[in-house]
Amino acid sequence: MLEFEGVTKRFGSVTALDTCTFSAGPGRLTGFVGPNGAGKTTAMRSVFGLVELDAGTVRWRGAPIGQRERQRFGYMPEERGLYPRMRVRDQLRYLAELCGHGRRQSLRSVDEWLERLGLADRARDRVDTLSHGNQQRVQLIAALVNDPDLLVLDEPFAGLDPIALESMSGLLREVASAGRTVLFSSHQLDLVEDLCEDVVIIDHGRVVRSGDLAQLRAGVPQRFVELRHRGGPPDLTRLSGIVVAESVPGLVRLQVAGDVDLAELVAEVRRSTDLVSFSYRPPSLPELFREAVTA
């Protein structure tokens, strides 16, 4: 369990993190979302002691994090970086050895990962001769090579093609299901929604929502109704507390209160148009995000 407790970090007049409190649990994928400049990268760096905090602590399994604990962590920074002129296999072995792994153990782990991500034939090449996507893969292996208990990835999906995206998702799921704690940031909210059990939404350095995604969604008073119809648009003027979010020919999206009388709504719609399908759901993550961040 990774816990942030009242974490505050100021850069001059900018407050990058403002008493942030949240946690990421083992065996679960935690998505870390927020607009640009919200403080995600700063928070992730603080796990590794790469920023000096003004207040608060970051704990791992209940204790403050030191050099020893970090050797059991994996990190993929937002600004990717490797020694450009070093060979792939040597570089990864070196990074594994820095985490206290022996030579043989490191090599075994490196070779397994290279094989798995389809880079075995590039093992002896210099990193700067690899394509951008392959360099990303090496960077990912660098975070995984010490078989970490906690994996922190800053925008791991940025710049990936759909296939690489798929395999990255699969990998993260697998790592989490092996009982590890995974925290990653992303701007691709639908992806986070598909992938994560937990989310943390941060805005201007403050954690505005955090916890189990399903519960967060259920806890919000708004609901969304989607209507597909034939014929003219439905007449909703007699209903109150309804906001039309979107209206195109054949489709209407409504934002309604959680306690709306659905039967009445359906009856009203069917009076004025021919209803084809009807869905009622809590807000999606993008909707939740928009609501939380602009509030």
* Rounded Cα distance, 74 and 55, in Å: 24
CB of 250 to other proteins, least distance (A): 50
Task: Determine contact, residues 88/130, Cβ cutoff 8 Å.
Answer: yes
Binder of ligand ATP out of 4, 7, 24, 41 (CB under 6 A): 41
Q: Taking CB under 8 A as the criterion, which residues in 128-187 touch other proteins? A: 139, 142
Among 13, 36, 67, 277, binds ligand ATP (CB under 6 A): 36
φ and ψ of 100, to 5 deg:
90, 5
Question: Given the DSSP bridges, would you call strands 29-33 and 181-185 parallel, antiparallel or unpaired?
Answer: parallel
Query: Site residues for ligand ATP, window 72-101 (CB under 6 A)?
Result: 78
**Interaction of residue 41 with Mg ion, rule CB under 5 A:** yes
77 touches which of Mg ion, other proteins, ligand ATP, none (CB within 5 to 8 A by kind)? other proteins
CB of 72 to ligand ATP, least distance (A): 24
Confirm if 157 and 188 have CB atoms less than 8 A apart.
Answer: yes
Please identify, using beta-carbon distances, which residue of 2 and 95 lies nearer to ligand ATP.
2
Q: Is 37 in the site for other proteins (CB under 8 A)?
A: no
Structure tokens at 199: 């989310």
Distance CA 21, CA 25 (A): 14
CA dist 7 and 30 (Å) reads: 18
Is 292 an interacting residue with respect to ligand ATP (CB under 6 A)? Answer: no
Query: Residue 199 interacts with ligand ATP (CB under 6 A)?
Result: no
Gap between the Cα atoms of 241 and 228, Å rounded: 20
Among 156, 36, 155, 135, which Cα is nearest to 81's?
Answer: 135
Instruction: Between 75 and 289, name the residue whose CB sits nearer to other proteins.
Output: 75
- State the DSSP H helix or E strand holding residue 58, giving kind and residue range, or none if neither: strand 55-60
Residues contributing to the site for ligand ATP (CB under 6 A) = 11, 14, 16, 34, 36-42, 78
Residues contributing to the site for other proteins (CB under 8 A) = 10-12, 45, 48-52, 67, 70-71, 73, 75, 77, 79-86, 90, 94-95, 97-100, 139, 142
